[in-house]
Structure 1
Amino acid sequence: MADNTAITPENTSTPQEEHTADAEGQVAAATTPEAGQEQAAPGQTASTEDAQTQSTPVPAEPKPATAEAPAAPKPKAVPSPAALAHKAPHVKAAPAAPTYSQEEIDKAEAFGRVDEQGNVFVHEGDQERQVGQFPNADAKEALNLYARRYLDLKEKLNLFATRLRSPKIKAHEIDESIASLKEETSQPEAVGDLAALRTQLNQLAEQGQARKAELAQARKDAMAKAIKERTAIVEKAEELAASLGDSTNWRSTSDKFRSLFEQWQHHQRTTIRIDKADADALWKRFSSARTTFNQAHRKWAQQRDAQRSETKRIKEEIIAEADQIKDSTDWGPTSRQFNELMDRWKQAGRAGRQDDDALWARFRQAADVFFNARQADRDKTSVNERENLTKKEALVAKAEALLPVKDTKAAKQARQELARIQEEWDAIGFVPRDDVRRIEGRMDAVDRQIKAVEDAAWNQSDPEADARVSSFEQQLAAQLEDLDRRIAAEQDPAKKQELEAEKATKEQWMNAVR
C-alpha cells in the first residue's frame, strides 16, 4: 500500500511542520499492512484496494518488527459559540500524496522479487532480505507497494536536502532529521536501491555537518555584529556622560539618552540574542552612563532651584526699593536710582520663566508710575518753556531796538533801559534747551554794542588810551575781514545769524574808536 502520509514539499515551511510530517510518515509506515498479514474476506475477490483496507493478519507467517499502531485520538473539546464568534477554527489542508513516474517505480522494483507464497524480498548487494509478505496478490502489486515505500524514503531525503538550503533551518533540526532518517533507512521495509539511499544519506549527513558549521559561523558573525552595534550605542551614551559640564544643554542631552535607550530596545527586539555575559556587561556600561547623567542632571536641577530662589529674593528686594521711590518728584536723582535698580535686576539672573514674568510685571508697574509722572511733568515744563521763549523773544526785540548807540549819552540811556529789560528777562525763567544759546546770544550782542560805545568814551578821556586806539582799530579791522569770509562760507542759517550779529557789534566798536 502506498504511504499516503509521507513528507511532501508543503511540510518544509517550518521546522515544527517538518518534524510533524516525519512523525506522521513513521506512523503511516508502521501501521501499513504487511504481506502475509492480510487476506481477502470470504466470498470476496481479493484486490489491491481490498487487500490494503479489509485484510486480517495471518499468524502462521513470520513478520518483521513494526512500530505499534497509534492509539485512537482523544476527542477534541467542542469550542463554545462565543469562542467561535471570536475566531473561526483553522483547518489545515492534508498534504498532497507524492506522485511517482512509472520509470521511477520500475527502477525500484528491479531491486526486489516476490516468491510463490507472497513473500517480498529486496536485493542488498549480494544478499537478499525479506521485507514483508503480500499473499493472494499479484507479484506486481506487491512490488509496487514496497517500491513506493522506497520512493517515499527517497522523497524524504530529497526534502531534507532542500531543507538544508533553507536560511531558517537550525542546527538541532539537522541533527534530529539525520538521526531520524538513519533509523528509517537502516532496515527499511521497502524495495529499491537501498545502498544508493544510504549513500545519499551519508552525503546529506556530510552536507548537514557543513551546514551546521556555516550556521555556527553565521551565528558567530551575527553575534559579533550585534555586539558591535550595541557597543556603539553604549559608547555614545558614555560620550554623552563624559561631556557633561556647566554648558550642557540638559533638555537636549536628556532627549539623546532617551533616543539611545529606544535604540537599545529596538536592537534587542530585532537582532540575534546576545550571550548573557556580553549582554549584561554592555547593559552595565549603558546603565552606568545613564546613572551618571541622571545624577548630574539632578545635581544641576538642585543648584538651579537654589539659584532661582536666590534670584527671586534679590528681585523681591529690588521691587520693594522701586515701590519706595516710585512717587518721588526728584526727577534726576530718582531716574538714576531706577537705572541702578535695572542694572541690579539684569545681574540677578533668572528665577524661572513663570516667576520672572510675574516679578518683572511688578517692577515695571513701579517704574511706570515714576516715569509716567516725570514725563507728565516734562510735558508741562515744555509748555511753560515755550511760553517763556515767546516772552524773551519779545524782550530781546525790545533790546535790539535800542541800537544803534551813537554817543555816550545815548549809550547811558540804552544801558538804563537794557537793565530794566534784563530784570524782566531774569524773572521769566527757563526756555527750551535748544533755544537758549540763540536767544541769549542776541541779548549779549546788544549788551556788547552798548558797552563798546561806553568803552570808547572812556578811552577818549584816558590820556594813555591814544596809544592803544590805533592797535585796537587794526585788530577790529582784521576781525571784521575774517567775519566777512566766515559769513560768506557759512551755510547754516542760525550760525550765519550769530556771525552777522558779532560783525554788527565789532562795527559799532570800530565806529566808536574812529
Structure 2
Amino acid sequence: MSSDPWGRVDETGTVYVRTADGEQVVGSWQAGSPEEALAYFERKYEGLVVEIGLLEKRVQTTDLSAKDAQVAIDHIREQVDAHHAVGDLSALRVRLDKLVATVESRREERRQQRAKQSDEARKAKEDLVVEAEQLAQSDQWRAAGERLRALVDTWKGLPRLDRKSDDELWHRFSHARSAFSKRRKGHFAQLDAQREEARRTKERLVAEAEALSGSTDWGPTAARYRELMADWKAAGRAQREHEDDLWNRFRGAQDVFFAARSSVFAERDAEQTENLKLKEELAEEAEKLLPIGDLKSARAAFRSINERWEAIGHVPRDARPKVEGRMHTVERALQEAEEAEWRRTNPEARARAEGLTGQLQAAVDKLRAQIEQARAQGNSARADKLERELEGRQALLDQALKGLQEFGG
C-alpha cells in the first residue's frame, strides 16, 4: 500500500483521495506500482490546477463572455466533483467559487456598462430627434438638408435600443425629415412657378424693348425704356437657363436705341454749338447799336439782325439764357427810345404838358404876390406858410418844364 497527504492506494489497487468529507474513490490502478498510480492521478490534479489558472487569466484579461466562462467553470467543476484526481480538491473548489463570483461581477459590470451605453444611445438619439424636428422648420434649405443627412449617418452609427423605444424615436426622426422634404419641395415648386411667371413677363418686356429699339421718338421712348427697366426688376428672376439670354436680348435692344439716340444727339449738339457761335456774333452786332442815336436806322438794323437770328435755330440749353439776354437788352433800349420819341412827338401830350405848365406858373406867380403882400403887412407867419407852399408848387413847375423840354419846346 502507498500513500501521500492527499491520497493512497490500497492492496487491491484502488486509489483514494482525502477530502473534508472523508476518503473518496478516485479509480482503480492495475498496470503498475502504487507509486505510479498516485503519480498519475496527481498529474491529473496538476492539469486541473493549470486549467483553472488559465481560465482565471482569461476571465481577467480577455473579453470572454460570462456565459462561456460559466460553461468552462462547470466543466472543470464536474471533473473536481468526480474526484478523478489526487490533490487538494477543496482548494480547487474555493478557486472555482471565487471565479464564479468574479464572472458574476464582470457580468454585472457589463450589464451596467450596457445600460449606460443604452442610456447614452437613447440620449444621443433623442438629441438627434430634437435637432431634426427643429431643422424641419428651417428655411435654410441647403444647410438644413445637409445637416439632416449628417444626422442620419450619426443615427446609423449608434447602437439600437429596445425595439419599442427605438421605433418610436425613429418614427419622430423620420417624420421630421419627411416634413422638411415636403416643405422644401413645396418651396421649390412655388419658386419654379414664380420663375416661370417671371420668364413669361420678361419675354413680354423683351418683345416690347426689341420693338422700340428702332424708334426715333427719343423722349417718350427713353421714358418707356425706364419704365420697362423698373418692370424688369419687379418681375424677379427667371430660371437660370433663361435669365441670362433674356437679359442679353433686353439690354441689347436698349443699347441699339440709345446708341442711335446718342449719335443723333451728338450731331444735334454739334449743330447747336455752331448755332450758338452765330447768335453770339449777332448779339455782338446788335450791341454795337447802343446807345441808340438814330432811332429809325437802329430799328431797321435790329430788325435785320433779328430776322437772321430767328433763321439760325436752337442753341445748347445751358447757353440760351445768356445769349438771348444780350439781345433782350438791346431790344429794351430800342423800346425805351421809341417811348421817349412818342412822348416827344405826341400833340395831345404836348398840349397837356403846356397846359399844366401854364397852370403851375400862374399858381407860382400868385403865391409870390401873396407872400410880398403878407410881408408888407407884417404878417410873417402867413408869409412863411405861403413860402412853404410855394416850394412845393415850384418843384412841380420845374418837373413840368423839364417834361415840356422833351417835346422840343
Q: TM-score range by the shorter chain?
A: 0.7 to 0.9
Residue in 2 that maps onto 1:170 = 65
Q: 2: CA distance between counterparts of 1:322 and 1:256? A: 45
Structure 1 position 366 matched with structure 2 position 261: no
- Give the structure 1 partner of residue 144 of structure 2: 253
The correspondence for 2:300, drawn from 394, 413, 416, is 416
Letter in 2 for 1:328: S
Matching residue of 2:282: 395
Give yes or no for contact 1:118–1:134 (8 Å, CA) kept in 2. Answer: yes
Distance 1:329 1:126, change over 3 A: closer
Could you tell me which residue of structure 2 aligns to residue 78 of structure 1?
A: none
1:158 partnered with 2:53? yes
Counterpart residue type for residue 47 of structure 2: D
Query: Which residue type is aligned with residue 403 of structure 1?
Result: L
Structure 1: distance between partners of 2:64 and 2:75: 16
What is residue 440 of structure 1 aligned with on the other side? Answer: 324
Map 1:80-479 onto structure 2 (within 5 A): 110-115=5-10, 119-125=14-20, 127-135=22-30, 137=32, 141-166=36-61, 168-241=63-136, 243-244=137-138, 248-267=139-158, 272-405=159-292, 407=293, 409=294, 411-457=295-341
SS across alignment from 1:197: helix
Deviation at 1:456, TM superposition (A): 5.0
Partners of 2:290 and 2:61 lie apart in 1 by: 124
Over 3 Å counting, the alpha-carbon distance change for 1:174 and 1:395 in structure 2 is same
Q: Secondary structure at the match of 2:157?
A: helix
Give the distance between the partners of 1:137 and 1:256, measured in 2 at CA: 81
The 1-side partners of 2:324 and 2:315 are apart by 10
Kindly state the Cα deviation for residue 260 of structure 1 after the two structures are TM-superposed: 1.5
Q: Distance in 1 between matches of 2:259 and 2:288?
A: 44
Are residues 420 and 181 of structure 1, via their aligned partners in 2, closer, same or farther at CA, if it must alter by over 3 Å? farther
TM-score of the two chains, using structure 2 as the length reference: 0.77
Once the two structures are TM-superposed, the CA of residue 196 in structure 1 deviates from its matched residue by 1.2
Provide the C-alpha distance between the structure 1 equivalents of 2:200 and 2:123, rounded to a whole number of angstroms: 52
Q: When the two structures are superposed, what TM-score results if normalisation uses the length of structure 1?
A: 0.62
Which whole-Å CA distance do the structure 2 matches of 1:296 and 1:452 have between them?
A: 86
Quote the Cα distance in structure 2 between the aligned partners of 1:221 and 1:380: 90
C-alpha change, 1:458 and 1:193, in structure 2 (3 Å) is farther
What residue identity is the alignment partner of 1:289?
A
Per-residue deviation, 1:454: 4.2
Structure 1 residues 175-184 or 191-200, which shifts more?
175-184
What SS does the aligned partner of 2:161 have?
coil
Q: Give a deviation string over 1:132-185, Cα, whole Å, max 9, x none.
A: 455554655544443332233223333333333357343423433333333232
- Cα contact 1:388–1:431 (8 A) shared by 2: yes
The 1:138/1:375 distance shift into structure 2, 3 A limit, reads farther
Gaps of 5+ in 2: 357-405
Q: Whole-Å Cα distance in 1 between the matches of residues 62 and 125 of structure 2?
A: 24
Shift of 1:342: 1.3
Cα distance in 1 between the residues matched to 2:290 and 2:8: 162
Residue 17 of structure 2 contacts residue 83 of structure 2 at CA under 8 Å; is this kept in 1?
Answer: no
Same amino acid, percent of matched pairs: 39
Give the SS at the match of 1:300: helix
Measured in 1, the distance between the counterparts of 2:121 and 2:314 equals: 88
Q: Determine if contact 2:196/2:239 at 8 Å carries over to the other structure.
A: no
Q: Which has the larger radius of gyration?
A: 2
Residues 118 and 136 of structure 1 are in contact (CA less than 8 Å); yes or no, is this contact kept in structure 2?
no
Q: Is the 8 A contact 2:25 2:83 kept in 1?
A: no
Q: Partner letter of residue 175 of structure 1?
A: Q
Alpha-carbon offset, residue 427 of structure 1: 1.4
**CA 202–423 in structure 1, closer or farther in 2 if over 3 Å, else same:** same
How far apart, in 2, do the equivalents of 1:140 and 1:458 lie? 177
SS at match of 1:191: coil
For residues 166-207 of structure 1, the C-alpha deviation after alignment (integer angstroms, 9 at most, x for no partner) is: 573434234333333332322142222101111121222223
Quick one: which amino acid aligns to residue 314 of structure 2? F
Deviates more, 1:273-282 or 1:382-391: 273-282
Task: Please state whether the residue corresponding to 1:273 is helix, strand or coil.
Answer: coil
Q: For the structure 1 residues 413 and 215, does the alpha-carbon distance in structure 2 shift closer, same or farther, using more than 3 Å as the test?
A: same
Give the alignment's Cα RMSD to 1 decimal.
2.8
**Unmatched tracts of structure 1, length 5 or more:** 1-108, 468-511
